Structure 1
Amino acid sequence: MESWVRFNAQSQSKERLCRAVQYTCTLLGYTLQKGGAASNLLTTVKQLESHLSLSRKLLRLGNSAEALEAAKRAVHLSDSVLRLCITVAHLNRAMYFACDNMLWAGKMGLLPRLDQNKWSLRSFRYYLFALILNLARDAYEIRMLMERESRSASLSKGSLSSSPTTLSPLSPENGDLCPSPSTSLPQVTVHVRKQLHLLAFVLRNNPPLLLDLLKNLCDVFIPLDRLGLYPTGNGWVGACGLASSVLSILTILHPWLKLKP
């Protein structure tokens, strides 16, 4: 299985490139349709999109094995939240790829009686579950990093306030232990602003986490639209798919941008 995983990793960049071109065709088809282009041109673009989708399914044959191997590695993570999110996400990806392989067999005529609509909806459900778990993992890591930075800032501020020449604005000496109700709203605004600055600081200093968050946020609109849970149209789906594909290609070209574990 390890040899197959190594072989499969070599085709990952080709699959990402096909994905980028496929969603470019989706976006282009939507733009041409809105612009009133000729029907034969629209048909050509849709056929190219369909061929690219079938090519991607061929390149993804065996990805279930890679996802299962990743799930086996994630089981040994020490953090229980990361262990749960990453393991279950990889298991859902394995099921998604298995459904995708069934769809490929059906489109190739190997399974002529396959209900392709049913298996397509099933694959998008597994895809959506995996993305939700990936977003939960991103949110957890962001929260942990924000708490770490907040504790570090509090320790630094505490060491400064311990000197006799420095007084905190909220110290008893300044008589501001019990703020009046009229000042509660500005304090909430200041707190929210500080949290947003802290969030921006954490994401700016963790490019792999930022890219993974953006990629998952873009990808989640695709199954939501295909399942009819949040219809956005082919234009938005094409734009989101293209953006997430470009981000994925960046992580392949620069492995240090890939979020670990």
Structure 2
Amino acid sequence: MDSWVRFNAQSQAKERVIRAAQYACTLLGYTLQKGGATADLHKTVSQLEAHMSMTRKMLRLGNSVEALEAAKRAIHLSDSVLRLCLTISHLNRAMYFVCDNILWAGKTGLIPKLDQHKWSQRSFRYYLFALILNLTRDVYELRLLMECEGPYRASKAPHSPNPSTTLSADHLSSPATPATSAWIRRQLHLLVTVLYSNPPLLLDLVKNSCDIFIPLDRLGIYPTGPGFVGACGLASSALSILTMVHPWLKLKP
């Protein structure tokens, strides 16, 4: 199993590079279409994107095994929220890869009568749910870090009453007062400070935020168009490659 995981890690690195190239083609195709490029050039870029998509699907064969192994490790985490989010996220990733493998078999002709649209939509639903759980995990860890950092910064700052505890309900329901505005500014400054001091969390949050627009568009829940999808996919792929080049930037566990 360990040898398979090591081999799969190498395949993932190649898959990330091809993924970046695929979404770069998506963005390029959209730009060429808007720029009035010839139909032949646009068709060539679209075909290149399709070939890269097929290559990625082939490289992802067996990724469901690694996702299941990750779920087995996550189920032993002590934090109940992380345990729930990561375990279910990995299980959804495993199902996404299974659907993706079946879709690959259909595209290559191994399963000639496969309903490719149905399996594509099914895979994107699993992908979307996994991303929602990953973002939930990111927000949860961000909240924990802000709760730890907040009291420390408050102890270093001059003593002042906390607007969140001293303001009455009437004040909270009224337009923003100078006290609430100051509290909001402090919270935003705390948020920026925590993210700046935790690059792995920042990169994971940005990457998942970019990725989530892809299934939202493909499922028709929030259509954004190929240009935006291509830009988001390219950005998230670049961040994934960065975490592979510098493993300390990968959020753990």
TM-score tier, shorter chain, comes to over 0.9
RMSD (Å) for aligned C-alpha atoms: 1.9
Displacement of 1:11 in angstroms is 1.1
What is the rounded CA distance, in whole Å, between the counterparts of 2:167 and 2:51 in structure 1? 68
SS in 2 for 1:259: coil
For the structure 1 residues 178 and 189, does the alpha-carbon distance in structure 2 shift closer, same or farther, using more than 3 Å as the test?
A: closer
Q: TM-score, normalised by structure 1?
A: 0.90
For the structure 1 residues 125 and 149, does the alpha-carbon distance in structure 2 shift closer, same or farther, using more than 3 Å as the test?
A: same
What is the rounded CA distance, in whole Å, between the counterparts of 2:167 and 2:136 in structure 1? 37
Report what 1:131 is aligned to: 131
What is the rounded CA distance, in whole Å, between the counterparts of 2:21 and 2:123 in structure 1? 21
Structure 1, residues 61-112: CA drift from partner, whole Å, max 9, x if none? 0000000000000011000000000110000000000000001100110000
For the structure 1 residues 192 and 112, does the alpha-carbon distance in structure 2 shift closer, same or farther, using more than 3 Å as the test?
A: same
Report what 2:33 is aligned to: 33
Report what 1:22 is aligned to: 22
> Which one has a bigger Cα radius of gyration?
1
Aligned length: 247
- For the pair 1:220 / 2:220, whether they are aligned, the reply is no
Output aligned runs, 1:60-79, within 5 Å. Answer: 60-79=60-79
Which segments of 5 or more consecutive residues in structure 2 lack a partner in the other structure?
Answer: none
Report what 1:145 is aligned to: 145
What is the rounded CA distance, in whole Å, between the counterparts of 1:170 and 1:138 in structure 2? 30
Output aligned runs, 1:3-14, within 5 Å. Answer: 3-14=3-14
Displacement of 1:154 in angstroms is 3.4
Report what 2:81 is aligned to: 81
For the structure 1 residues 10 and 193, does the alpha-carbon distance in structure 2 shift closer, same or farther, using more than 3 Å as the test?
A: same
Report what 2:222 is aligned to: 230
SS in 2 for 1:11: helix
Displacement of 1:152 in angstroms is 1.8
Q: Among 195, 198, 205, which residue is 2:187 paired with? A: 195
Runs of 4+ aligned residues of structure 1 deviating over 2 Å after TM superposition are 153-157, 168-171, 177-184
Output aligned runs, 1:242-261, within 5 Å. Answer: 242-261=234-253
For the structure 1 residues 28 and 80, does the alpha-carbon distance in structure 2 shift closer, same or farther, using more than 3 Å as the test?
A: same
Which segments of 5 or more consecutive residues in structure 1 lack a partner in the other structure?
Answer: 162-167, 172-176
Letter in 2 for 1:29: G
Report what 1:107 is aligned to: 107
SS in 2 for 1:99: helix
What is the rounded CA distance, in whole Å, between the counterparts of 1:221 and 1:17 in structure 2? 20
Letter in 2 for 1:118: K
Displacement of 1:155 in angstroms is 3.9
What is the rounded CA distance, in whole Å, between the counterparts of 1:178 and 1:199 in structure 2? 22
Displacement of 1:149 in angstroms is 0.4
Q: TM-score, normalised by structure 2?
A: 0.93
